[in-house]
C-alpha cells in the first residue's frame, strides 16, 4: 500500500488544522468601497469559497503609501478593520479559514491612486503601466526611501498584521512576490542602494526578513506566512543570484518558525526543488506562472504534492468555481471564468458563478 498525500487529506498549518490541502490563492478583484473598506459582497465572495483548506485574501495595503491599485482594501484604519469583521465572520460561519495577504506596492503605484509619489528602494520606475483611477498609465518615477524610512515601511506590515487579527483573520501572508515592495528590495534592478539594504545578498534580503520578523513578533510565527516568486522579473524587478539569494532568505526565515512559505513556480523546477529542501517548514506551491497561459489543475497539484509540497494553491480556478474543492474531489468539470470581469467591479463575474449543478 502507498501512503501518498492527496489534496483531500487534512493538514496542520501553524495552530490550525486544515480539512484539505487546497489553498485559494490571493487574487486582486478591486471590489472595495471608498476608503479601502471591505463590503458585504466581499463577505459573500469569500464565504462562497470557504470549503478551501485555506483562503488567502486579495492583497490588502498596510498603509496608504503602500496601496498599489485603486479599489483595493486596506488594514490601516479603524474603519477598515471594522469592515473586515463581517467578511471573516462569514468565512468562519461557513467553516473556513482565512489569512489576509499584506501587499505594499512600493514603486508599483501612482499619485492619482494614493496622493503620494510612490516610494521604493531606489529611484527606478517599474516597467509597464500601472492602474490609476483614470485608467492605465506608465509606471511613474518613485522616490528612493531613506535609510531611516526603510524600517518604518517594514514595520507597517506588523501594524497591519495586528489589525488583521483584530479583524478576525486567522493569520497573514506577506506579499513578497510579483514585483511589489519586498521583491523590489530583493531585485538587483529595482534596488541600487549602497546602504545596509542593498548590494550583497545579505543586504538585499534584509527588508524581507525585517518585515517577516516584525509580523511574527506582533502576531506569532504560527500565524505568519510569506509568498515568494523567485526570478519572476514581474514589473521589471529582475533578480540575480536567484538560487543563492532565496536559499539565504529561507535560511533566515526558518529562524522565525513561520506557518508557511508560499512559492510560485516562476523559475525552473530544479531550483524550486532545491528551495523545497532548504525550507524546513510547510510549503505551499502555486504550480502556475502568475497570469500565464496555464492555470493550476488537478494534475499539476498532484504532481507537486508528490514533489514535496504540503499544500497547493489555486488562483483562477476559484473565480468561477466557488465549490472547487468538491469539483476536484469528484472529478467534475471546472467552469471557465470571464476575464473581462476580473477587475470590473460589481457582483457580475464575482458572486454570480454557481456551484456545480448535477443532472436530475
Model pLDDT, residue 359: 63
Rounded distance between C-alpha atoms, residue 120 and residue 106, angstroms:
5
d(CA 24, CA 345): 20
Phi/psi at 17 (5° precision): -120, 110
Instruction: Enter the DSSP assignment of 336.
Output: P
The one catalytic residue in 180, 197, 260, 353 is 180
For 58, the enclosing helix (H) or strand (E) is strand 54-60
Q: What is the pLDDT of residue 3?
A: 56
* All structural domains of the chain: 11-341 (3.20.20.70)
Residue ranges of the alpha helices (H) in the chain? 40-48, 78-93, 111-114, 149-166, 181-186, 201-204, 206-219, 242-254, 269-278, 298-306, 316-320, 324-330
Determine the pLDDT at residue 69: 97
> Active site includes 356?
no
The pLDDT of residue 1: 35
Q: What is the pLDDT of residue 86?
A: 98
Integer CA distances (angstroms), 359 to 61, 353, 356, in order = 43, 17, 10
Low-confidence ranges of the chain (pLDDT < 50): 1-2
Query: Can you state the angle between helices 242-254 and 269-278, rounded to 10 degrees?
Result: 20
Amino acid at each position: 500500500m502507498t501512503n501518498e498525500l492527496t489534496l483531500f487529506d487534512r493538514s496542520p498549518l501553524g495552530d490550525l488544522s486544515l480539512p484539505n490541502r487546497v489553498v485559494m490563492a490571493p487574487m486582486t478583484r478591486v471590489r472595495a468601497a471608498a476608503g479601502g473598506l471591505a463590503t458585504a459582497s466581499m463577505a459573500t465572495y469569500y464565504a462562497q469559497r470557504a470549503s478551501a483548506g485555506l483562503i488567502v485574501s486579495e492583497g490588502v495595503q498596510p498603509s496608504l503609501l503602500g496601496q498599489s491599485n485603486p479599489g483595493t482594501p486596506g488594514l490601516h484604519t479603524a474603519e477598515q478593520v471594522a469592515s473586515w469583521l463581517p467578511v471573516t465572520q462569514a468565512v468562519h460561519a461557513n467553516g473556513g479559514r482565512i489569512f489576509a495577504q499584506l501587499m505594499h506596492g512600493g514603486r508599483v503605484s501612482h499619485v492619482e491612486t494614493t496622493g503620494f509619489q510612490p516610494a521604493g528602494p531606489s529611484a527606478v520606475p517599474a516597467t509597464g503601466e500601472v492602474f490609476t483611477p483614470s485608467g492605465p498609465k506608465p509606471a511613474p518615477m518613485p522616490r528612493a526611501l531613506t535609510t531611516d524610512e526603510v524600517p518604518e515601511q517594514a514595520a507597517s506590515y506588523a501594524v497591519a498584521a495586528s489589525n488583521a487579527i483584530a479583524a478576525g483573520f486567522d493569520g497573514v501572508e506577506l506579499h513578497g512576490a510579483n514585483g511589489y515592495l519586498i521583491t523590489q528590495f530583493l531585485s538587483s534592478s529595482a534596488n541600487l542602494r549602497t546602504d545596509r539594504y542593498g548590494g550583497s545578498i545579505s543586504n538585499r534580503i534584509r527588508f524581507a526578513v525585517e518585515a517577516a520578523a516584525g509580523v511574527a513578533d506582533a502576531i506569532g510565527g504560527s500565524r505568519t506566512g510569506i509568498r515568494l516568486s523567485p526570478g519572476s522579473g514581474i514589473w521589471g524587478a529582475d533578480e540575480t543570484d536567484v538560487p543563492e539569494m532565496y536559499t539565504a532568505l529561507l535560511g533566515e526565515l526558518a529562524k522565525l518558525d513561520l506557518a508557511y512559505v508560499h512559492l510560485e513556480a516562476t523559475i525552473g523546477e530544479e531550483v524550486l526543488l532545491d528551495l523545497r529542501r532548504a525550507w524546513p517548514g510547510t510549503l505551499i506551491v502555486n504550480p502556475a506562472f502568475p497570469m500565464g497561459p496555464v492555470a493550476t489543475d488537478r494534475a499539476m497539484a498532484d504532481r507537486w504534492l508528490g514533489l514535496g509540497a504540503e499544500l497547493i494553491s489555486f488562483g483562477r480556478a476559484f473565480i468561477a468555481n466557488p465549490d472547487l474543492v468538491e469539483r476536484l474531489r469528484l472529478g467534475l468539470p471546472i467552469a471557465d471564468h470571464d476575464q473581462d470581469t476580473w477587475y470590473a467591479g460589481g457582483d457580475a463575474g464575482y458572486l454570480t458563478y454557481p456551484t456545480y449543478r448535477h443532472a436530475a
